[in-house]
Structure 1
Amino acid sequence: MRHNGAAMKAIRQKCGIPLRRLAQDIGVDPGYLSRVENGQRGAGDETLHRYADRLDVPIEAITHEETPRDQDEPGSPRRDQPH
């Protein structure tokens, strides 16, 4: 599963969750998570699912090519529509 690091980071920041806290919550190293968000490293499906679950967003929000400014607030109707 391919991820969009920029979207991941934008959503995490909108949710107000520090990278270190999220990494701890989903059981990964903060340095690894930083590289994933910055597009320097790939992430496994399990990690991506834990990331999306923790931020309460659909997996599609972090696995397709969408610019960060296109992301809506969590729970918004537009974001939850299929792409």
Structure 2
Amino acid sequence: MCVSFWFYEYYSSQYRRSFLEMSFKWCNLGDYHLVNMTLSISAMPSFPFTKGRIYCNMTLRQETIVAGYIDMELKRKRN
């Protein structure tokens, strides 16, 4: 099973596909629990855009079994 992610930038009221994409074999991902995911901006490398959409696809033997997306927005935390 393969999991793929494509990142789209929100630009001029539409989502445009960016150069960022990732693909992994499911067994290589391991056991993760993503609850209220927050990252320190200083620990994260510069991201090319602040608002967008992440599409995800899971395939098994080249057949899509799950597909979806998440809208995201990166904000700076005020101190």
Which is richer in strand? Answer: 2
Structure richer in helix, relative to its length: 1
Length-normalised TM-score, structure 2: 0.24
By relative contact order (CA 8 Å, sep 6+), the higher-ranking structure is 1
Give 1 or 2 for the bigger CA radius of gyration: 2
TM norm structure 1:
0.23
